[in-house]
A and B are shown apart, each in its own frame.
Chain A
Amino acid sequence: MSHDILIKVETLSRVYGSRRAVDDIGFELRRGEVLGFLGPNGAGKSTTMRMITGNLAPSGGRITINGIDLLDRPREAKAQLGFLPEQPPLYREFTVDEYLDYCARLRRIARPRRHAARDSAKQRCGLGQVGERLIGNLSKGYQQRVGIAQAIIHNPAVVVLDEPTVGLDPNQIREIRALIRELGDEHGVILSTHILPEVQATCDRVQIINNGRLVLSDDLDALARHSRSSSLILRLGQRPDAGMLEAVPGVEAVQELDHGRWRIHHAPDESPAAALAERAVQQGWVLLELTPEQRSLEEVFVDITAGDDMAPGTPEAA
């Protein structure tokens, strides 16, 4: 069960006028997986999500949800889906309970199970205390939770969340992330964001989309390898000769920083740390610090998405 494919997207594309907002995207989502959709503004994240959830007809390609073709049998396919759009679709004049009851009916949950479904969704999203309150009077964080509750009330196979933590305070962000991780245990979750730490905190797999194309699709461990270090920070009590540092086997270049610190560049996976430590002891340089420099996901992201023909700040496609 842990490896069945919940979403299969093949050669998906969407054209607005003459602009290709999404261009030939394909990917899969398995049960128990949290997939992070990452990309600059206007990259096509929201467009892709709206197509997966049946809100927007694709110009080409196929979307299969839990083995059901979304375009041929939309009703059955949508029954397997929960969607939280960028702007949570809430009726502000309803109370939380009324709203969730309506969603449960809309999702064709049988009457005897409706009450239990509502209670479990409320409990999972931490809405236990606010059932009687009007949605319009809730804070942004609670509204976002109601939006998530709406997306999971029918226990769908796939939950699609478009920027679920936008506009929340740090505590709320942490709670929502924990909730997403929890959802990822039994459902398949697709999450879009442009906040990189969010991906590191919640996702198993990352897809970077830029300019309508999938430019990277990898699991987070592989991405960590992708971002493996190729430099060391070295701090010495005595100032050595730069030439002597460069002479250490494995060192490619040396750069002097302030306060006796040096940046040592080396080939990936061939850290000269041991050799440097040994040399420092031999020469009496007084070794104070020797740490690998980690490239953050952010740098990888910038590496992949920058230098493209698309300028930042292009308006969001959807």
Chain B
Amino acid sequence: MILTIAGRELRSLFLSPLAWAVLAVVQALCAYFFLLYLDLYLQLAPRLAAVVDGPGVTGIVVAPLFSTAAIVLLLVVPLLTMRLVSEERQKQTLPLLLSAPVSMTDIVLGKFVGVFAFVSLMLALIALMPLSLLAGGELDLGLWAAGVLGMVLIVASFCSIGLLMSTLTAQPVVAAIGSFGVLLLLWVLNIAGDSGNELFAYLSLLSHYQPLLRGLVDTADIAYYLIIIVTCLILSVRRLHADRLQP
């Protein structure tokens, strides 16, 4: 049932020009950044060869690419998640789901899986870019895999936050702005953290992403993202229940 709803979500996305435009823009931007970092590496390569245990191509191309991709996706994911529930409210199509024999959890998970499947497509294309370097050299695939894992986790939390925002309103644009606000806040919290506030630094989405890009897979970082995702999904389910109970 979750897959049925996810399939509908995915189909609706592909039937709208928005999804195609997002795919194209993200792909073009990330390809440009990839070339930029690759160029940087080629400039540095002669000097790096002299350094013992210096950073390789993976460290100089892949990690910054994935880091930049996450920022691009932060800007783009709210546009994809905004319509998940709010549009159904606005167009009054929610009764179709509510009077069907499916639970609220099915609905929320279906929507999350649907939009995440779409975003995963973008992630796959981004993750494949550096693999093209295998044609002419060697990559640290462990580092690459840790980066991909980090990207999947951080983008999944973007999606869950966007979904939660979408359940709170009947206006897709409001949902998008709300998600932007929350995501940017969680992103830049580490600036406050830099000035000494440990808690803010810990809460920042970014501070848990960087270790993964360096190849450090820590269960605490993974748990941080999973907790964000699960919390947002539970709150979304509760929000949909509250619709039925409206006082």
Contact = CB atoms under 8 A, between A and B. Distances in A.
B99 interface: yes
Given A55-B98, A75-B103, A105 B4 contact: yes
A89 B100 contact: no
Contacts of A87: 92
A55 B95 contact: yes
A63 B84 CA distance: 31
Contacts of B98: 53-55
A93 B16 contact: yes
What are the nearest 10 A-B pairs in CB distance? A89-B96, A89-B93, A83-B99, A87-B92, A79-B101, A78-B101, A57-B244, A93-B15, A105-B4, A53-B99
B46 interface: no
Interface string B66-108: 0000000000000000000000000111111111111100000
Contacts of B197: none
B12 A91 contact: yes
Contacts of B99: 53-55, 78, 81-83
Nearest to B92: A87
Contacts of B94: 89
B214 interface: no
Nearest to A80: B101
Interface in A82-113: 82-83, 85, 87, 89-94, 98, 102-103, 105-108
A202 interface: no
Interface residues of B, number: 26
B135 interface: no
Interface size class of A (residues with CB under 8 A): 20 to 34
21 contacts: A15-B247, A16-B246, A16-B247, A56-B244, A74-B103, A78-B101, A79-B101, A81-B99, A82-B99, A83-B95, A85-B95, A89-B94, A89-B95, A90-B93, A93-B15, A93-B16, A94-B15, A106-B96, A106-B97, A106-B100, A150-B96
Interface in A1-43: 15-17
Interface string B202-214: 0000000000000
Contacts of A106: 1, 4-5, 96-97, 100, 102
Interface of A: 15-17, 50, 53-57, 74-76, 78-79, 81-83, 85, 87, 89-94, 98, 102-103, 105-108, 150
Nearest to B241: A57
A201 to B, nearest CB: 26
A107 B101 CA distance: 6
A55 B95 CA distance: 6
A103 B244 CA distance: 21
B245 interface: yes
Given A74-B103, A75-B101, A106-B96, 12 more contacts: A54-B99, A55-B244, A56-B246, A78-B99, A82-B99, A87-B92, A89-B95, A98-B11, A106-B1, A106-B5, A106-B100, A108-B1
